[in-house]
Amino acid sequence: MTKTNIITFFCLCLAVVFTSCRPKNQQDAEYDNNDPMTYTTSIIADTIIADIRDQSDLYPVTDDFLEDFLERVSEYEGKHITIATKMPAEWGISCVERLPEGRELWLLRSMDREWAYLVITSGFGTQRILDMVPVAVNLAQQDKDVLETEVWETYRESDGSFIVHKNYEWIKNLDTNATQSDINEYQRHSYFVDRYAINDLCRFECTEVNDSIPEYSAVVFFYKENVKPDEWDNVIEMLQAFCEDRNVYYEEVKTGFGDVAVHDFTLNEVTHVDMLPYIQDLPAGMVMFKKGETPKAVRFGSFERMQIEIKRYFKMLSL
User: What pTM value is reported for the model?
Assistant: 0.60
Distance between CA atoms of residues 297 and 254, nearest Å:
15
Q: Domain boundaries in the chain?
A: 47-209, 213-313
Please provide the distance, in angstroms rounded to a whole number, between the alpha carbons at the two ends of the chain: 93
For 157-194, the pLDDT digits (tens) are 989 999 999 988 888 776 656 555 555 456 677 778 89
> What average pLDDT does range 253-262 have in this prediction?
89
pLDDT for the residue 94 = 94
pLDDT single digits (tens) 190-219: 778 899 999 999 999 998 776 667 889 999
pLDDT band (50, 70, 90) for residue 25: very low
Angle, vertex CA 233, rays to CA 231 and CA 239, nearest 5: 100
Q: Each residue of 267-295: pLDDT tens digit?
A: 888 888 888 888 988 999 999 999 878 89
219 close to 239: Cβ distance less than 8 angstroms: yes
Buried b (16+ CB within 10 A) or exposed e, 228-260: eeeeeeebbeebbebbeeeebbbbeeeeebeeb
Output the pLDDT for position 37: 60
CB 288 within 8 A of CB 219: yes
Give every CB contact of residue 262 below 8 A, 6+ residues apart in sequence: 216, 218, 220, 249, 251, 269, 270, 271, 272, 273, 289
Please give the CATH superfamily to which domain 213-313 belongs: Glutaredoxin (3.40.30.10)
Residue bearing the bigger pLDDT, 107 or 40 = 107
Selection from 23-32, 225-234, 254-263 with the highest mean pLDDT: 225-234
**Residue range 141-162: average pLDDT?**
91
